[in-house]
Chain A
């Protein structure tokens, strides 16, 4: 097991190196650059543009820019943001709690929906529960996050006035000096709508995977054997079939979770959630290369790490994989 994990981890290093080079090239190939934003201001003169270009190091050849970025990045120095001059690490760190809160809660909600729905739909294949959840899942997968988010805002914030339409806290509440409970309640109220969007969309996809995996597993000889030995249905499903079926689904959940950590870009934008997704949107619009590179490398690392973790999980569930 340790050899397996060690080998998988070592393989990730050249992969991340290649990813960093490709991402760097792609970002710089996109039209415009960090200085494009200044061009539309007539008071910013050509001399100013040239001075800012030098100050940001954009006048150097691309390979030099990449090399100095890579050397600094591997030392843990992520540099300064091109847009506000602050440390990139600080800008990212201040957004992490909001992202983890949103994504963590969404994954829990999605899993809470996925497990019962996927299992029951797999066991009761073709029956009314399966048909209803299949239709619901297709709708859930098809819903664009921004559209679903706006719809929820219109109903629950604008029309009913039950929930705040966006943000992470009510500034009014924070300023009023409400107690801890008031603060927690306010926080939960802000979480409800974005978590519903992310949770429902993820659960729709994951429950389909679990259903398919359950159907496949339930047809396996060991499940038929368990039935033949007279085990109760509940034990057959929960102890034998689910353990086998859940492995591949967990791998998908891990990879999706890695993507979510990097920022639920659309959902954060619609709900003005101050996480990594909205930071990515801002950095992309400004072509803030240093922030973009750091975020994309974090995402890539998260995906690679979660893939390795998923492999490890899969290997624990099914030890043959590690052999």
Chain B
């Protein structure tokens, strides 16, 4: 029996020894510890966010980027991690929150302990962070969608929109901005003929796309600002033999759209780039920790290759226009998310 206790202890001591070596290395240099805390582990999107953090840390002096997340996407799991981050006195935490409100008490505690807290991708309510970094804004998304389809159809022809549901708040605001953008003179030969709703269901979206092509024989392009819709419409175009005649763009997931982007059905599409999110968040944290910026509304924070981010009302900030995926870069991103 003594042997067993002895063996157990030995195993634990050995195991801790390896960790010990690691920990000492980290403590050796007095680097800023900037944490990217994501919704959950094992998600390609967030692994890419982590890559962005490492990239930024490489460019900045004295920064270590730490990537953490709970094993299940819950606020409780994130709170446990934040408590341990407070205890080890990290310098900054950027969080993609599982719950905008539930994290507020603990992030307040973190800020009281002198830690800079921002949120990105999925925000924390005001009072629980200084800056909330949104990947993009409605205006940028809407205008870009029109620009993308214009490039594909050669600035002329009938355009239709395949949206999610008619009540979807996000999509409706984006579509308003698309209608605004298309008023510009360079789009004088283009016209939005109809907006249809696929309810974010694959089969309904597919039928709506087929219906559009039958109803408008001169249809030049479809914009589908939803990941379900753009995928279904691409399939519909390919199945109907309209590839090359009807162009498609939208907001799509690279992993789902790789096939259609590479075979030319969908010439280009957009979505936020998680690498850029991790990169920009780390730059913002560094600026706040070192005092280069205070994070007050109106502050301009320079964020490396992403240019600058302007802090808006209530700390709401916008990273930029969505990232454009095409046949040249889709494979790399499809492997991530």
Partners in one complex: no
Interface residues of B (CB under 8 A from A): none
